[in-house]
Structure 1
Amino acid sequence: MTKENIPFDMYNYHAWANQTILGRIRELPSSVLHQEVNSSYPTLAHALSHIYAVDQMWYLVLTGMEMPEAFQATLTLNERVLESVDAYESVYSELAQKFNAWFQSQPDLEQSVLLNNPFAGPRQTRFSEMILHVVNHGTYHRGNVTTMLRQLGHASTMNDYALYWYQQPAASLG
């Protein structure tokens, strides 16, 4: 893997890990998605909505929207819980397709733009840094989901980057 492919591969890991954790939740009773727990989020659905909202916000930033506007545009997604694992799988998959199309159209992931972060101020930021943030943010909150599952009496599933290496299709190994 070349340095230029790292953000793309890491994003694909992120999409795979999201689908993997959703697959585990699908195996459990459907009520688990909305069962209240004393944790970082009141329910698994709230945690999943947060991951999705932040991913969507960064997608908007990557495609040219200023961060304050992207944040405002996705604010309601953070609180909107979906009714089923199917619904989460669908929106996550649709957004992953948009990210992958963006990757195809973006020749220089080391391109820098002025990111006007409403919480931290302006900073020149590379697209690759933004992608790695999306991945890191998702990993952090999938950890929350794992903890919440355990608090609800269920095991989670491994979704580490090292497992992703072995789950990739053989065709991508060349």
Structure 2
Amino acid sequence: MSNYPVQMFEYHTWASQAILGKIKELPPSVLSQEVNSSFPTIAHALTHIYAVDKMWYMVLTGTGMPEALQACMLLNAKIMSSVDEYANEFAQLSEQYREWFRGQADLEQTILLDNPFAGIRQTSLAEIVLHLVNHGTYHRGNVSTMLRQLGHSSTMNDYALFWYQEAAK
């Protein structure tokens, strides 16, 4: 595939579902067990990933970043009660992104991004997609560490494994 931002987004979707699949194998209480990490619980980390994914979707579909950030803050406060709920919400949002990609002819198109924390800049749609993938990868690493702190193994969700999973399809 030559459309790397879309391919990277597909990796992001796959990796999120992979780690959620691993968490599904564990006792439900693992979501809410407190750990000494960058998030107090795995549920908080998953909520943050989802809220930021949703925020960038809103920006990509025309919402101003200040308004999207406000919505993200509200989502960040809503901890979901089960791994299935997270998996379903992530899957639904991924479908919204895919629909957006189908209607988007030029990911090199730029928009004026008004980031209240960093300022105003022209940013390509592709840069935003790649940022959201990178953000998710970073925080899935947090989740993997949290799982290990709780005495559980994580699961491999590297981009290189995604290559082989996709080739096998």
TM-score band, normalised by shorter chain? over 0.9
Give me the TM-score of the superposition, normalised by structure 2.
Answer: 0.98
Partner residue, 1:142: 140
Q: Which amino acid aligns with 1:162?
A: A
Q: Which amino acid aligns with 1:60?
A: M
Deviations 1:5-24 (A, max 9, x none): 00000000000000000000
User: What SS does the aligned partner of 1:107 have?
Assistant: coil
Partner residue, 1:72: 70
Q: How far apart, in 2, do the equivalents of 1:111 and 1:48 lie?
A: 30
Partner residue, 2:12: 14
Q: Which amino acid aligns with 1:110?
A: E
Deviations 1:66-110 (A, max 9, x none): 100100122111121100000000000000000000000000000
Q: Tell me by how many angstroms 1:27 deviates.
A: 0.5
Structure 1: gaps of 5 or more residues: none
Q: How far apart, in 1, do the equivalents of 2:49 and 2:77 lie?
A: 11
Q: How far apart, in 1, do the equivalents of 2:165 and 2:26 lie?
A: 22
Q: Describe the shift of the 1:29–1:92 C-alpha distance in structure 2 as closer, same or farther (beyond 3 A).
A: same
- Which residues of 2 match residues 87-98 of structure 1 at below 5 A? 87-98=85-96
Q: How far apart, in 2, do the equivalents of 1:79 and 1:162 lie?
A: 33
What is the count of residue pairs matched by the alignment? 169
Q: How far apart, in 2, do the equivalents of 1:108 and 1:170 lie?
A: 29
Task: Pick from 61, 64, 74 the counterpart of residue 63 of structure 1.
Answer: 61
Between the aligned residues of both structures, percent identity stands at 64
Runs in 1 of length 4+ with deviation above 6 angstroms? none
Structure 2: gaps of 5 or more residues: none
User: What SS does the aligned partner of 1:92 have?
Assistant: helix
- Which residues of 2 match residues 45-124 of structure 1 at below 5 A? 45-124=43-122
